[in-house]
Amino acid sequence: MAKYPYDFPVREIRQAISVLKPQFEVTDWPELYVDFSRVRAKETFNSLSVKLNVIDDVFESTNDYSKILYTGHTGCGKSTELVMLHHYLNHKDRFFSVYVDVNESLQMSSFEPEDLFILLITKLVEALKESGVSFSVSGLKKLADDWIAQDPEIVDEVEKKDSKEAGAQLEAGFNFWNFLSLKGNLKTAFSYNSKTSTIIRKSIKQNQGDYIVTFNEILYEIKNEILTKDFGREIIFILDGIEKLRQEKYDTYVQTFFRDARLIQNLNSNLICCVPIDSIYDIHVCSLIDGLYQRFILPLIDVNDNTRQLFNSIVSKRIDVNKFMENGVMDYCIEQSGGNPRQLIKIVAEALSYSQPNNFIVNMEIARKASQELGLDLRRTLTSEHFRILKEENYYDDADKIIIDLLFSLALLEYNGNTRIRKPNPLLQPFLS
C-alpha cells in the first residue's frame, strides 16, 4: 500500500492526530526515528552489536552463535528499535537478516513450540525469495517430501490458496515451501487443526534431533549461497512478537525457550528474540536464562537535561510543536511521559483531542487535563494494595508478584543505570499524595 504523502512535521490537525496514533507505522518513515543510543547508558545497541560480534560495523565469524533474548517495557520502543536493528544488520559485511513479525505470520493463540521450527524455515525461504537467492536446497525438499509422504492431502491444504499467485513451476517439495512462504499461507495452515499443522507438529515433536540436523544442513547450504552472492556473512533471525506469549500462553513460551530449548540452542544461526518482560523477573525462568541466552533489556530513559531534547524530537519530528503547543507545554508532557515514548505520544494525542475549544493549540491547562485523564485510566487498574506499595518509597525492588504486576502495567517504571531505579509513573502522582 502506498504511503500517505505526509510532509513532516505536519501542520494540519487531522494529520497530526493520525501520525500520533499508536498504529502509525513509524518504521515506514526513517526520518522520524530518534536515536536514543547515546543516552541508553550501558545497555546500548553498541553492546548488542558486540554481543553479536559486530565490531566496527563488520561481523567477525566465530564458532558460536548468539542467542539473545531482548525485552523491555510496553511502549519503550522495542519493536521500533528492533526494526532499525534489522535494517542495520542486514548488510553484506554483517548478516543476512531475517526479520519475523511472529504475530503476522502465525496465529499466536494456537502457537505450539514446534511451530517455531517451521516459522524460521518459512521466513527464511520468504527472505531468500525477496532477495532473489535460490532456496533449491536438498534439505528443504527432503523435509517437505517427508511430510507429504505421511499425508498427500497436506499439499492440497497448503497449495489450494493463491495458486495463481504462486505461479512458479517448482518440484513438489520446493513448491510446498514456495506456497507456505506466500503471505498469510503459513498463518492459515497453522491457525486451525489442519492436517498440515497436525502432521508437521507431530513429526517435529517425535524426531526433534533429526529435524535439527536437517535444519542445520539447510542453513549450511543457504549460507554458502548467501556468501557467494555477497548478501551477508551469516544468517540472523530477528523475532518480534514472541513477547505477546503471556498469561495463558506463557507456559508455551517457557516450554519453547527454556524447558525444551534444544531447537534454539542447537540452531547454527544467530537469533534475537523479543520475549515477555515477565520472564526476566520470573525466578523459575531467569535462573535458566543465563545458562542458555544472552539478555538485553531496553530500559526506559530518565527524563533529564540530557534527554529532554531527544524526547522532544519524538513529537517534533512528527508534528509542528510550535503550531500545536504553547511554550513550555511540551516540557510538561515529556515530564509526564516518565520516559516512555508511547506514553508521551499518547499524552500529546489526548491533549490535541481536547484542544478544539482553543483552536487546536494545547495550553498547559489542556495538557494537564489530558495527563489527568490518562492518569485516571491507569489509576483504575490499581487495587488498594497497589496504592499502598506505590506510596511507600523504596519498597519497589522486590520481585513480589504484585510489584512485577505494577511494572508490567507501567504503574511503576524502571530506568537506566546501574541500580535500575524504579519510580511510580508520573501520571499517578496526583493520586499518591
The C-alpha atoms of residue 424 and residue 415 are separated, in whole angstroms, by 11
Range in contact with other proteins (rule: CB under 8 A) among 22-30, 162-170, 294-302, 416-424: 22-30
The C-alpha atoms of residue 310 and residue 303 are separated, in whole angstroms, by 10
**Closer CB to other proteins, 92 or 281, in the complex:** 281
Selected from 132, 167, 291, 357, the binder of other proteins by CB under 8 A is 357
**Closer CB to other proteins, 14 or 164, in the complex:** 14
Q: Which three cell numbers stand for residue 280?
A: 526476566
Paired sense of beta strands 294-298 and 95-101, if any: unpaired
For the chain, the residue count is 433
Cβ atoms of 151 and 195 closer than 8 Å: yes
The C-alpha atoms of residue 275 and residue 69 are separated, in whole angstroms, by 6
Task: Restricting to residues 263-322, name those near other proteins by CB under 8 A.
Answer: none
Selected from 8, 12, 18, 129, the binder of other proteins by CB under 8 A is 18
Selected from 61, 62, 228, 247, the binder of other proteins by CB under 8 A is 247
Site string for other proteins, 29-68 (x = CB under 8 A): ----------------------------------------
**Closer CB to other proteins, 164 or 380, in the complex:** 380
What is the full DSSP assignment across 220-269? HHHHHHHHHTTS-SEEEEEEESGGG--GGGHHHHHIIIIIT-HHHHH-SS
Cβ atoms of 237 and 269 closer than 8 Å: yes
The C-alpha atoms of residue 317 and residue 308 are separated, in whole angstroms, by 14
Cβ atoms of 93 and 53 closer than 8 Å: no
Asked if 384 is part of the footprint of other proteins (rule: CB under 8 A), the reply reads yes
Residues 6+ apart with CB under 8 A from 333: 315, 325, 344, 347, 348, 351, 367, 371
Selected from 126, 157, 159, 350, the binder of other proteins by CB under 8 A is 350
The C-alpha atoms of residue 258 and residue 256 are separated, in whole angstroms, by 6
Q: How many residues bind other proteins (CB under 8 A)?
A: 39
Task: Restricting to residues 107-166, name those near other proteins by CB under 8 A.
Answer: 107-109
**Closer CB to other proteins, 126 or 350, in the complex:** 350
Range in contact with other proteins (rule: CB under 8 A) among 52-60, 199-207, 316-324, 344-352: 344-352
Q: State the minimum distance, in angstroms, from the CB of residue 73 to other proteins.
A: 10
Asked if 409 is part of the footprint of other proteins (rule: CB under 8 A), the reply reads yes
Pick from 409, 406, 411, 407: which is nearest to 424 by CA? 411
**What Rg value do the Cα atoms of the chain yield, rounded?**
24
Q: Using omega within 30 degrees of 0 as the cis cutoff, is the peptide bond preceding 9 cis?
A: yes
Selected from 93, 356, 395, 430, the binder of other proteins by CB under 8 A is 356
| Alpha-carbon distances, residue 418 vs 40, 49, 69, 330 (angstroms) | 11, 20, 20, 29
Selected from 264, 280, 382, 406, the binder of other proteins by CB under 8 A is 382
Selected from 34, 53, 75, 217, the binder of other proteins by CB under 8 A is 75
**Closer CB to other proteins, 146 or 405, in the complex:** 405
**Closer CB to other proteins, 143 or 366, in the complex:** 366
Asked if 373 is part of the footprint of other proteins (rule: CB under 8 A), the reply reads yes
Selected from 129, 246, 295, 423, the binder of other proteins by CB under 8 A is 246
**Closer CB to other proteins, 12 or 151, in the complex:** 12
- Sites of contact with other proteins (CB under 8 A): 14, 17-18, 20-23, 25, 74-75, 101, 103-104, 107-109, 244, 246-249, 342, 346, 349-350, 353-354, 356-357, 373, 377-378, 380-384, 408-409
